[in-house]
């Protein structure tokens, strides 16, 4: 930021040395340089937050949720407000293979993939930040335990024959 100020001052003094300008034009030129400096200062200091179409920001003032912002520009008050970005795109989480014991004591290795997305409504965005530390990790652990519970209550034949019903139950449990 100070480098920008230094460059702007050098430009001002070079223009002043090599061109004979009226006091009015010099004043306008100086005001334009000051405005450029303030714009750079505002952007670099964190007054303005740039959010993409798929991002939202939960902005907290003094540690309490104040608002959800995005997409576009969000104006913040530095030192008073903090933010956490939330990505609204679908995330694919690969749950590592796990061994599950069925009702008839058969050990199965189950592989699970989760398609996870935070809804666009402000309350869902706030919940993904406030109610859980890491919602992606929480979803993985929840799916692991749900898979163990569902398959643990079924025999091997029931598990193989009812894969579609297992998927429906998993979606119902997670939603």
Average per-residue pLDDT for the chain: 87
Q: For residue 38, which of 62, 16, 8, 66 has the smallest C-alpha distance?
A: 8
pLDDT in the model for residue 39: 81
Is it true that the peptide bond before 166 is cis, omega within 30 degrees of 0? no
The mean pLDDT of 13-19, rounded to a whole number, is: 77
Q: Would you place residue 62 in the very low, low, confident or very high pLDDT band (cuts 50, 70, 90)?
A: very high
Asked whether the predicted pLDDT for residue 10 surpasses 70, the reply is yes
The mean pLDDT of 147-174, rounded to a whole number, is: 87
Asked whether the predicted pLDDT for residue 12 surpasses 80, the reply is no
Separation of alpha carbons 145 and 148, rounded Å: 5
Q: Would you place residue 1 in the very low, low, confident or very high pLDDT band (cuts 50, 70, 90)?
A: low
């Amino acid at each position: 930021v100070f480098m920008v100020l230094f460059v702007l001052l050098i430009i001002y003094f070079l223009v002043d040395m090599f061109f004979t300008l009226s006091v009015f034009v010099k004043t306008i030129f100086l005001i334009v340089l000051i405005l450029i400096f303030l714009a750079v200062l505002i952007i670099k200091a964190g007054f303005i937050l740039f959010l993409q179409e798929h991002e939202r920001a939960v902005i907290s003032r003094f540690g309490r949720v104040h608002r959800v912002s995005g997409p576009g520009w969000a104006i913040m008050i530095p030192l008073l407000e903090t933010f956490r970005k939330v990505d609204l795109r679908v995330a694919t989480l690969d749950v590592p293979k796990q061994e599950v014991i069925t009702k008839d004591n058969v050990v199965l290795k189950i592989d699970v993939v989760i398609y996870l997305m935070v809804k666009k409504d402000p309350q869902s965005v706030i919940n993904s930040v406030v109610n859980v530390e890491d919602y992606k990790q929480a979803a993985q652990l929840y799916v692991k335990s749900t898979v163990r519970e569902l398959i643990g209550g079924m025999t091997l034949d029931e598990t193989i024959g009812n894969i579609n019903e297992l998927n429906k139950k998993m979606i119902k449990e997670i939603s």
